[in-house]
Amino acid sequence: MIHPTALVSAKAEIDSNVEIGPYTIIGDNVTIGSGAIIGPHVTIDPYVEIGPECHIFQFASIGALPQAIKFEGEETHVKIGRRTVVREFTTINRGTGFGGGLTEVGEENLLMAYTHVAHDCKTGRGVILANNATLAGHITVEDYATIGGLTALHQFVRIGKHAYIGGKSAVVKDVPPFVIAAGDRAKLHGLNRVGLKRHGFSPDAIAMLKKTYRLIFRIGLTLNEAIERVRAEVDQIPEVEYLIDFIKASERGMTR
């Protein structure tokens, strides 16, 4: 159902099972999947794809031009995955040509009120951005990470899977997977044990991650020394391998 006051471009592809509220504006080359609900006073600019069963609340702005000085009007896109919820006054900007051309919000995300996802960001499955969390450009947030309210992430930062970042934090370096980080500037505060248990991690996996965390971040070793100790002393389960690979791939440096 499309409210008669909504303005929907003839070049948009809207599934017949989509609800669009009053005074919402849908631009050219927008695709909206089955079961989606678009609330009142929403603006969806061109080149946006919204997956099935998403819910976009009032006054959200999706697909506006990126806030990037080098952007020159090139065609770029926003993609939002299935069952993602975008709350009031959230802004999600298009990608840039120099940054890959795509801003992508994954499936089953929850973007609470006033959050901002800048150009060329990518979030995985099940990501939560609490109220007023802001992502600068080119940020990657991996599966099931949670970003607390009033938190700012520096451009090009990576947030690992199942990481939890506390509210009112300023994150300027990569945050490894499975940990808790908080503060200005953010520092590590141990494993995200509650989150890991909720997502079905076994006690053995949590124990191995705890030992790995201690060796890498808490006893003053260099990174190479710590990795050697982990290889020698910790069972090389997939979670431990992933944590090490994430750290070794860091370009901005690691939050510690």
pLDDT tens column, 202-212: 999 999 999 99
Could you confirm whether 15 is annotated as catalytic?
no
Percent of the chain exceeding pLDDT 70 equals 100
Closest to 161 measured CA to CA, from 103, 240, 233, 237: 240
Give the angle subtended at the CA of 187 by the CAs of 184 and 189, to the nearest 5°: 130
pTM here?
Answer: 0.97
Spatial distance between the Cα atoms of 186 and 180, rounded to a whole number of angstroms: 10
* Active-site hit among 120, 124, 174, 195: 120
DSSP string, 137-197: TT-EE-TT-EE-TT-EE-TT-EE-TT-EE-TT-EE-SBB-TTEEEETBTTEEEEE-HHHHH
**Dihedral of CA 191/195/201/203: which sign?**
positive
Indicate the CATH number of 7-138 among 2.30.40.10, 1.10.10.10, 3.30.300.30, 2.160.10.10. Answer: 2.160.10.10
pLDDT band at 248 (very low <50, low <70, confident <90, very high): very high
Superfamily of domain 196-248: Udp N-acetylglucosamine O-acyltransferase, C-terminal domain (1.20.1180.10)
**Dihedral of CA 177/183/184/187: which sign?**
negative
Could you confirm whether 143 is annotated as catalytic?
no
The residue whose two tokens read 């600019």 is 45
Domain locations along the chain? 7-138, 196-248
Mean pLDDT of 9-26: 98
- Tokens read off for 82: 């299935």
* Active-site hit among 124, 137, 160, 195: 137
pLDDT tens column, 31-78: 999 999 999 999 999 999 999 999 999 999 999 999 999 999 999 999
* Active-site hit among 116, 119, 138, 162: 119
Tell me whether the CATH fold assigned to 7-138 matches the one assigned to 196-248.
no
- CB 94 within 8 Å of CB 115: no
pLDDT band at 154 (very low <50, low <70, confident <90, very high): very high
Mean pLDDT of 91-120: 98
pLDDT tens column, 225-235: 999 999 999 99
pLDDT at 146: 98
pLDDT at 123: 98
Could you confirm whether 120 is annotated as catalytic?
yes
The b-or-e profile of 133-168 (16+ CB within 10 A means b, else e) is: bbbbbbbbbbbbbbbbbebbbbbbbbbbbbbbbbee
Spatial distance between the Cα atoms of 48 and 46, rounded to a whole number of angstroms: 6
pLDDT at 42: 98
